[in-house]
Amino acid sequence: MRLKMRGEVRKVLLIRMSELGDIILTTPVIRGLKTRFPGARIDYLTKVQFKEVLSLHPLVRKVIGFDSKEGILGLVRLIQDLREERYDLIVDLHINPRSILVRYFSGAWMMRSYRKYSMERRILKWFRINLLKDGGSVVERYFSALEDFGVSANGAGPELYISQADKQKARAIIEQAGLSGRRLIGLVPGSRRRNKIWPLERFARAGEELAKEFDAGVVILGGEGEQEIAEGVYDRLKQAGIERVVNVSGKLSIMESSAVIGELELVISNDTALMHIATAVGAPVVAIFGPTTREMGFFPYSQNALVVERKGLKCRPCSLHGGDRCPKEHFKCMLEIEPEEVVEAGKRLLSGKND
């Protein structure tokens, strides 16, 4: 049932401070808000390092960047600035102490937050009692903030808007690597959390087999701190005779990496932000999941994605977001995934048979 409002919604502030993948997954909510309130102005509050991700979004009037290094005084100044905007509705899609303070002290006459399932996720992790069988993707959970406005997820995935300059740079990188005019496969072998990393030699084997079968070029991507793993995959591919390969891990901005991913026919990725970016730019994705499971809500939100995981392990999930080590010290969730499984999933997507 739709809520009867006491006034018109003219200005909306949507809050998601971090992380990159989570911000990408909020973009369907932006569409839903604009559909429900077509005349409203939508602003977005996030950490300053993620402003560029939404800077070209046509439905977002202003992206507000908060620098957490400014501490409590910076937060106070932010709240003062937001009060001057006189927002009608604030939608908190983060729910941490900072976003709660912003929500309650920014002067909006309506505030909404989403169903985060924090306790249910911890019960699943600690006691293996699954109360999240119908929890859905975190995208659908975000929409719970808007259910009394009659706004719900329609199944459409996230989206990302990339500048022409970034697209041109991506094409130049591909051309300089001698990969123009070829089918391109992307590998994302790193992760900020070490127990989410599928062994690099298996990544290399999967990339090698797909490159040979489809006569494809290979692009290796990743963020800062992931260069060593990326170099290891690159070296193994070269040793296997794969000459058409380029490693751009740690060398590009978020949006430049996104532009490169937009040129690929397939992305094989650990559970990372680049996996979500791939779905947002329409690239088919093979996602490799280990310590986390579907119930946590972060599987790729796309009809053109396949997840490879080791089902049936009683120790999964062992964490909410991944960690630095396997608590059981056997790492079965990743070591029991063979390259052949990933290759088969990649073949299905490259052949258009992902049902």
pLDDT digit string, tens, across residues 112-122: 999 999 999 99
pTM of this prediction?
Answer: 0.95
Q: Do residues 210 and 350 make contact, with C-beta atoms less than 8 angstroms apart?
A: yes
Mean pLDDT of 103-107: 96
Q: What is the pLDDT of residue 134?
A: 76
**Which tens digits make up the pLDDT trace of 162-205?**
999 999 999 999 999 999 999 999 999 999 999 999 999 999 99
Q: β-strands 41-47, 11-15: how paired?
A: parallel
Report how far residue 96's alpha carbon sits from residue 107's, in angstroms, rounded to the nearest whole number. 18
CATH of 164-350, one of 3.40.50.620, 3.40.50.2000, 3.30.420.40, 1.10.150.120: 3.40.50.2000
Q: What is the mean pLDDT of the chain?
A: 95
Instruction: Determine which of 133-142, 187-196, 206-215, 323-332 has the lowest per-residue pLDDT on average.
Output: 133-142
pLDDT at 109 > cutoff 70: yes
Residue at 309: amino acid letter: E
Q: Is 118 exposed, middle or buried (0-12, 13-18, 19+ CB in 10 A)?
A: exposed
Percent pLDDT > 90 in the chain is 95
* Location of structure tokens 């309650």: 104
Q: What is the pLDDT of residue 1?
A: 46
Mean pLDDT of 149-155: 93
Q: Do residues 93 and 28 make contact, with C-beta atoms less than 8 angstroms apart?
A: no
Report how far residue 173's alpha carbon sits from residue 229's, in angstroms, rounded to the nearest whole number. 20
pLDDT at 6 > cutoff 70: no
Same fold, 11-146 and 164-350: yes
Tokens at residue 223, please? Answer: 């963020």
Report how far residue 281's alpha carbon sits from residue 283's, in angstroms, rounded to the nearest whole number. 6
**Which tens digits make up the pLDDT trace of 230-279?**
999 999 999 999 999 999 999 999 999 999 999 999 999 999 999 999 99
Q: What is the pLDDT of residue 5?
A: 58
Q: What is the pLDDT of residue 302?
A: 97
Q: What is the pLDDT of residue 4?
A: 52
CATH code of 11-146, in short, is 3.40.50.2000
Instruction: Determine which of 16-20, 135-139, 225-229, 291-295 has the lowest per-residue pLDDT on average.
Output: 135-139
Domain residue spans of the chain? 11-146, 164-350
Mean pLDDT of 23-33: 98
